[in-house]
C-alpha cells in the first residue's frame, strides 16, 4: 500500500501526497499518514520475511510504491564488536554497517524512498542540497532510474565525496556558503522548477527511509529491541525517525517492551542540538566550524524534536570535541576492522560520553549506527600513514626486523 495523505506535524492540516515541502498554514513539517488498523491486520513477521532483502521488505510501512531493484539499499550487516565492547566496558555492542549500501552511506535509504515517490509523481529531475553523502546517493539513484540529477553542496564539503558523486553524471553546484545556505537556495528554487528535491519538497517521504534502520535492527535481533541505539545527529531526521521506527514496530505488535534509549552525537564545531539538550532550551542556530562536514547543519530542521526524543527515551545528545573525532575513527577501525567516516567517530565519542555519564551501563545491549565509510573522509587519520621505506633486499629487511640469519 502507499499513503493517501500527508499531515502537518504541528497543526495537523492534511494534504494530498504530492511534492510539497512544508505546511502552507503554519510552515510545519509534513509526515505521511498510515492506516494503522489495516497495517495491524496485514503486516506480520512472516510477510516481512517473505519480502526482498532490502529496505523494500518494509514497503507496507513506507510512503512509496515498492521499487525494489538490484541497487536497492538496506538489510545491511549487524555485527558484533567484542573487542571494542571490552575497551568501552560493555558486555554487548553491535555495529549496524550502513557503509555497505550502494554508495556507502545510510543516505541511500532515504533517497530510495524519495526517488520512488518522484517516479510515481512523474518528476524527471532528482535534486538535493547535500553535506556530502547525499550527493552520491542522489546521483547514483538518478542514474539508475534514468533521471537527471542536480546537486547543491557547500564549497567546504570533502572533495572525495563530490568526486564520488560526479562519476554518475549529475550537475554539481558548489555554493560559496554553508549547508544552510544551500538549503535556503534549494527552497527558493523549488517554486521555480519542476524538480524533485529529495530533502525539500519530497522530504515527507524521504525522511521515512531512515525508519528502516530500526526495522532491520529489530528483525536482525530476532524481533528484540536493543537497550541503546547510538547515532550521529545533523538535521535530527535520522535520530527521530529511528525512534519512530521502533515505536511503529511496537504499535504493530511486532516487538514488545520498552523503546531503546537514544544516544546522539554532534561535533563540537556544530553542536546546536547537543547544546539545547544540555541547557534545556530550544535549538539556537549556529555557524558550522567543524571537520565533520556530513553533520555540519547549523539550523537543524528536526533539532528540537531530536531533543524531545532523546529525553523521552532516557538517552542524551552529546557534543564531541573535534580533536577526538579522528581518535574515535582510529579506535573503531583498530578494534573492529570497520573504517567509519567522521560521523562514526562522533557517534562513538557520544557513546563514550554516555558511558562516563552513566546513561549507558555495562549490561546494556548497545547498537552503534555506522552511517558511512571512512574512505570518503580520511583526513582526520592521515597522520597514521607512516610507511617504512626499504630496498628490495631480504637480508636488509631481516636485519631491520632483528632476525638473525
Mean pLDDT of 236-261: 97
Q: Which domain holds residue 12?
A: 1-33
C-alpha cell at 162: 563530490
How far apart, in whole angstroms, are the C-alpha atoms of residue 132 and residue 376?
9
Are both 170 and 218 inside the same structural domain? no
Residues 242, 362, single domain; the answer is: yes
Whether residue 360 sits in one domain with residue 281: yes
Query: pLDDT at position 405, please?
Result: 72
pLDDT for 1 equals 57
Whether 258 and 228 have beta carbons less than 8 Å apart is answered as no
What would the pLDDT profile of 284-337 be if each residue is shown by its tens digit?
A: 999 999 999 999 999 999 999 999 999 999 999 999 999 999 999 999 999 999
Domain-embedded: residue 272: yes
Tell me the pairing of strands 6-8 and 14-15.
antiparallel
Q: Is the pLDDT of residue 359 over 80?
A: yes
Q: How many domains does the chain have?
A: 3
**Within-domain flag for 216:** yes
On average, the pLDDT of the chain sits at 95
303 and 327 share one domain: yes
Q: Looking at the predicted structure, is the pLDDT value of residue 163 above 80?
A: yes
Q: Answer yes or no: is 5 within a domain.
A: yes
Whether residue 318 sits in one domain with residue 224: yes
Distance CA(220)–CA(55), nearest Å, equals: 13
Whether 282 and 298 map to the same domain: the answer is: yes
- Tens-digit pLDDT profile for residues 31-70: 999 999 999 999 999 999 999 999 999 999 999 988 888 8
- In the predicted model, what is the mean pLDDT of residues 244-250? 97
Query: Looking at the domain assignment, is residue 400 inside a domain?
Result: no
The pLDDT tens digits of the residues spanning 337-353 come to 999 999 999 999 999 99
What pLDDT is recorded for position 249?
A: 98
Q: Are residues 236 and 160 in the same domain?
A: no
Same domain, 232 and 332: yes
> The cell 518494509 sits on which residue?
58
Question: Collapsing DSSP states into helix, strand and coil, what is residue 382?
Answer: helix
What mean pLDDT is predicted for residues 105-120? Answer: 96
Answer positive or negative: Cα dihedral of 113, 116, 118, 124.
positive
CB 172 within 8 A of CB 162: yes
Q: Does residue 389 belong to any structural domain of this protein? A: no
Domain at 229, CATH number: 3.40.50.1100
Q: Is the pTM of this model over 0.85?
A: yes
| Nearest-angstrom CA–CA distance, 228 and 261 | 5
Q: Tell me the three cell numbers of residue 163.
A: 568526486
Q: What is the pLDDT of residues 168-207, one digit of tens each?
A: 999 999 999 999 999 999 989 988 999 999 999 999 999 9
Q: 144 and 213 in one domain?
A: no
Percent of the chain scored above 70 by pLDDT?
A: 100
Residue 391 lies in a domain: no
DSSP letters, 12-36, are --EE-SSS--B-TTT--BEEE---H
Q: At what angle do helices 303-313 and 272-279 cross, to 10 degrees?
A: 50
Helical segments of 121-236, H only: 133-145, 159-166, 179-190, 203-206, 211-220
Report the distance separating Cα 288 and Cα 180, nearest Å: 9
261 plus 370 within the same structural domain: yes
Instruction: Say if residue 118's pLDDT is above 80.
Output: yes
228 bridge partner residues: 261, 366
What's 393's DSSP letter? -
In this structure, is residue 390 part of a structural domain? no
398 within a domain of the structure (yes/no): no
Cell 523521552 found at: 312
Question: Are 138 and 226 part of one and the same domain?
Answer: no
- More confident of the two residues 4 and 12: 12
Judge if 184 and 329 occupy the same domain: no
Q: How many residues does the chain have?
A: 405
Give me the residue label for grid cell 592521515.
Answer: 382
311 burial type by CB count under 10 A (0-12 exposed, 13-18 middle, 19+ buried): middle
User: Cell numbers of 11, please?
Assistant: 497543526
> Residue 132 and residue 367: Cα distance in Å, rounded?
24
For 163, phi then psi, to 5°, come to -65, -40
Amino acid at each position: 500500500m502507499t499513503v493517501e495523505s500527508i499531515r502537518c506535524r504541528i497543526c495537523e492540516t492534511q494534504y494530498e501526497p504530492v511534492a510539497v515541502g512544508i505546511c502552507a498554514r503554519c510552515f510545519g513539517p509534513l509526515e505521511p499518514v498510515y492506516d494503522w488498523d489495516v497495517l495491524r491486520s496485514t503486516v506480520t513477521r512472516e510477510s516481512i520475511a517473505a519480502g526482498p532483502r532490502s529496505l523494500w521488505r518494509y514497503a507496507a510501512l513506507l510512503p512509496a510504491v515498492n521499487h525494489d531493484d538490484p541497487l536497492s539499499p538496506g538489510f545491511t550487516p549487524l555485527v558484533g564488536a567484542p573487542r571494542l565492547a571490552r575497551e568501552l566496558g560493555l558486555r554487548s555492542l553491535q555495529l549496524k554497517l550502513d557503509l555497505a549500501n550502494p554508495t556507502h552511506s545510510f543516505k541511500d535509504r532515504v533517497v530510495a524512498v524519495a526517488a520512488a515517490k518522484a517516479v510515481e509523481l512523474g518528476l524527471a529531475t532528482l535534486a538535493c542540497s547535500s553535506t556530502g553523502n547525499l550527493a552520491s546517493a542522489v546521483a547514483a539513484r538518478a542514474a539508475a532510474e534514468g533521471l537527471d540529477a542536480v546537486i547543491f553542496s557547500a564549497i567546504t564539503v570533502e572533495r572525495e565525496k563530490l568526486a564520488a558523486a560526479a562519476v554518475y553524471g549529475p550537475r554539481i553546484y558548489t555554493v560559496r556558503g554553508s549547508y544552510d545556505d544551500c538549503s535556503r537556495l534549494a527552497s527558493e528554487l523549488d517554486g521555480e522548477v519542476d524538480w524533485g528535491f529529495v530533502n525539500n519538497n519530497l522530504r515527507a517521504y524521504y525522511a521515512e527511509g531512515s525508519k528502516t534502520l530500526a526495522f532491520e535492527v529489530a528483525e536482525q535481533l530476532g524481533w528484540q529491541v536493543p537497550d541503546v541505539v547510538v547515532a550521529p545527529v545533523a538535521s535530527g531526521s535520522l535520530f527521530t525517525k529511528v525512534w519512530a521506527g521502533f515505536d511503529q514496530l511496537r504499535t504493530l505488535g511486532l516487538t514488545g517492551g520498552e523503546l531503546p534509549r537514544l544516544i546522539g552525537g554532534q561535533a563540537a564545531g556544530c553542536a546546536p542540538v547537543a547544546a539545547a539538550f544540555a541547557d534545556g532550551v530550544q535549538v539556537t542556530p549556529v555557524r558550522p566550524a567543524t571537520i565533520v562536514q556530513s553533520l555540519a547543519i547549523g539550523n537543524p530542521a528536526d533539532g528540537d524534536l531530536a531533543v524531545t526524543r532523546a529525553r523521552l527515551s532516557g538517552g542524551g545528545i552529546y557534543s564531541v570535541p573535534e580533536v577526538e573525532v579522528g581518535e574515535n575513527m582510529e579506535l573503531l577501525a583498530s578494534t573492529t576492522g570497520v573504517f567509519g567516516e567522521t560521523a562514526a567517530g562522533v557517534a562513538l565519542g557520544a557513546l563514550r560520553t554516555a558511558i562516563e555519564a552513566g546513561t549507558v551501563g555495562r549490561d546494556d545491549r548497545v547498537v552503534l549506527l555506522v552511517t558511512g565509510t571512512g574512505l570518503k573522509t580520511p583526513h582526520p587519520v592521515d597522520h597514521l600513514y607512516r610507511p617504512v621505506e626499504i630496498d628490495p633486499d631480504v637480508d636488509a629487511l631481516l636485519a631491520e626486523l632483528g632476525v638473525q640469519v
